């Protein structure tokens, strides 16, 4: 498989600071060419493989023409933390901003992030079981998520991809056993096994995830793909190719089931922005795609405010615009918001600032969880409580540890009822 590291030649790349616009005025006349679509080419950003997607979340690939490899500009621009705008009237692509908030556009590699985490933990790579190093967005910046195990202790690090500083770290004792089974099949073989079980040919599907992971002390492959409107997810043992878990999510049929889209992706964005109280001009979307969840067609949206470290995630029902879930991370001081940010959907639901409020406080939700768990507040550590929406309901998610046990609670933010709980 061909790899391109750090977007270096022969890929045409530009170091972007400020704003860059590319229009038809700077080009020759429109031409029709014959080029090669190259799904075999892997693009890496500072050593981390990237899955390039279009604005609708569909995977896109490099193209080769006359000895030069061309990459989708939206996918590459957004991977580097830039806002990519398209003006159809002037046929202009406009890339705005500095790469991931950096004035230099220079990032550390995944290997360097791993080295920083290992040095902080006091281990060498030969002493740990490395689970993964992934480049992702967190509060409007690129970070490396580094995870590894030493014996039964799990280490999680977030490393700033621009500065190389440790943003966050966590250490947990887990019921984890170092894998004793080896890797006897390849990732391609795991894909073949999943396709055969689904009764599909590779030409009939679109892969959205194929990666190696650890699950319950063994090496597995996670394989995810779409065939038409049906989503398939597989977990396959790397030792012998056994299918450990699979999930098929197909759209239901009939009226009123949410299997068809009644609103557009743009309208879903409007609903999410209005509910968050964020002006569109201040928002940068990092995910905006259609998906299926429990037989319902939904829009998955993620965006952050360019002015503050605020990030939102929404699931919105495509049939009528109902907000199914909402998650907010970070703090806004009001510079992201504006007035008049309200929207009423075709189903009569109202979205916008003040669309819902909790009847109990976060402290009361914590006490409900402590009382149910039979622990005192003094014995609790690693406590987190946040307000969230799930299936249109306002609830508190409370997580904490006490006496060697990890607790997770979901508590109705209006009635105080315990909706779900888990002890591990």
pLDDT band at 343 (very low <50, low <70, confident <90, very high): very low
Structure tokens at 319: 């049939």
pLDDT at 85: 74
| Opening angle at CA 226, ends 220 and 227, nearest 5 | 125
Classify the phi-psi angles of 139: left when phi > 0, otherwise alpha if psi is within -120 to 50, otherwise beta.
Answer: left
> pLDDT tens digit string along 155-178?
889 998 888 999 888 877 655 444
Structure tokens at 2: 């061909």
- Report the alpha-carbon distance of residue 108 to residue 120 in Å, rounded: 16
- Report the alpha-carbon distance of residue 336 to residue 353 in Å, rounded: 12
Tally helices (H) and strands (E) across the chain. Answer: 5, 27
pLDDT at 271: 94
- Report the alpha-carbon distance of residue 312 to residue 268 in Å, rounded: 14
> pLDDT tens digit string along 107-151?
888 889 999 999 999 999 888 888 778 887 776 678 888 988 887
- Report the alpha-carbon distance of residue 291 to residue 299 in Å, rounded: 6
What is the pTM assigned to this prediction?
A: 0.34
Structure tokens at 248: 């098929």
CATH architecture of 110-173: Roll (3.10)
Per-residue pLDDT, averaged over 174-200, amounts to 77
Contact 142/81 with Cβ under 8 angstroms?
A: yes
- CATH numeric code, 187-249: 3.10.450.40
- Report the alpha-carbon distance of residue 334 to residue 355 in Å, rounded: 17
- Report the alpha-carbon distance of residue 420 to residue 416 in Å, rounded: 12
Of 312-321, 340-349, 387-396, the least confident = 340-349
Q: Count CB neighbours of 300 within 10 A.
A: 17
pLDDT at 55: 64
The CATH class that applies to domain 362-423 reads alpha beta
Between 247 and 398, residue with greater pLDDT? 398
Residues in the chain: 424
Between 365 and 228, residue with greater pLDDT? 365
According to CATH, where is 3.10.450.40 located in the chain?
Answer: 110-173, 187-249, 362-423
pLDDT at 268: 93
Per-residue pLDDT, averaged over 219-225, amounts to 87
Assess whether pLDDT exceeds 70 at residue 291: yes
Between 23 and 160, residue with greater pLDDT? 160
- Report the alpha-carbon distance of residue 288 to residue 207 in Å, rounded: 18
CATH architecture of 265-352: Roll (3.10)
Per-residue pLDDT, averaged over 94-119, amounts to 71
Assess whether pLDDT exceeds 70 at residue 365: yes
Q: Percent of the chain beyond pLDDT 90?
A: 14
Between 303 and 416, residue with greater pLDDT? 416
Between 389 and 275, residue with greater pLDDT? 275
């Amino acid at each position: 498989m061909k790899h391109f590291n750090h977007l270096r030649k022969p890929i045409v790349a530009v170091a972007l600071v400020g704003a860059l616009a590319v229009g038809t005025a700077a080009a020759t006349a429109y031409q029709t060419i014959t080029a090669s679509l190259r799904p075999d080419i892997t693009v890496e950003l500072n050593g981390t493989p990237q899955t390039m997607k279009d604005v609708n979340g569909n995977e896109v690939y490099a193209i080769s023409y006359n000895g030069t490899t061309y990459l989708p500009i939206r996918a590459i621009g957004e991977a580097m933390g830039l806002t990519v705008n398209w003006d159809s009237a002037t046929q202009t692509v406009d890339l705005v901003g500095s790469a991931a908030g950096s004035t230099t556009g220079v990032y550390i590699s995944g290997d360097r992030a791993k080295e920083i985490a290992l040095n902080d933990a006091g281990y060498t790579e030969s002493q740990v079981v490395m689970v993964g190093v992934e480049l992702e967005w967190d509060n409007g910046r690129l970070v490396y998520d580094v995870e590894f195990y030493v014996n039964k202790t799990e280490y999680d690090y977030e490393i700033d991809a621009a500065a190389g500083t440790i943003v966050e770290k966590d250490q947990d004792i887990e019921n984890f056993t170092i894998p004793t089974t080896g890797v006897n099949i390849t990732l391609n073989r795991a894909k073949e096994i999943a396709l055969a079980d689904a009764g599909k040919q590779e030409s009939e599907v679109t892969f959205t995830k194929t990666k190696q992971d650890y699950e319950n002390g063994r090496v597995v492959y996670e394989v995810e793909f779409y065939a038409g409107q049906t989503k398939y997810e597989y977990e396959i043992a790397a030792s012998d190719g056994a299918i450990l878990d699979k999930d098929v999510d197909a759209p239901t049929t009939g009226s009123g089931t949410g299997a068809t889209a009644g609103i557009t992706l743009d309208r879903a964005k409007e609903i999410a922005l209005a509910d968050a109280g964020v002006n569109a001009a201040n928002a940068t979307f990092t995910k905006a795609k259609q998906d299926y969840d429990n037989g319902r067609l939904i829009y998955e949206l993620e965006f952050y405010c360019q002015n503050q470290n605020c990030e939102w995630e929404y699931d919105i029902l495509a049939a009528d615009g109902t907000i199914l879930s909402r998650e907010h991370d970070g703090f806004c001081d009001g510079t992201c918001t504006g007035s008049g940010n309200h929207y009423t959907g075709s189903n009569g639901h109202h979205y916008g600032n003040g669309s819902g409020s909790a009847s109990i406080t976060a402290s009361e939700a914590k006490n409900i969880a402590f009382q149910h768990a039979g622990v005192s507040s003094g014995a609790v550590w690693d406590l987190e409580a946040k307000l969230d929406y799930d299936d249109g309901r306002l609830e508190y998610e409370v997580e904490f540890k006490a006496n060697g046990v990890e607790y997770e609670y979901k508590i109705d933010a209006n009635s105080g009822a315990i909706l779900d709980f888990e002890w591990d």
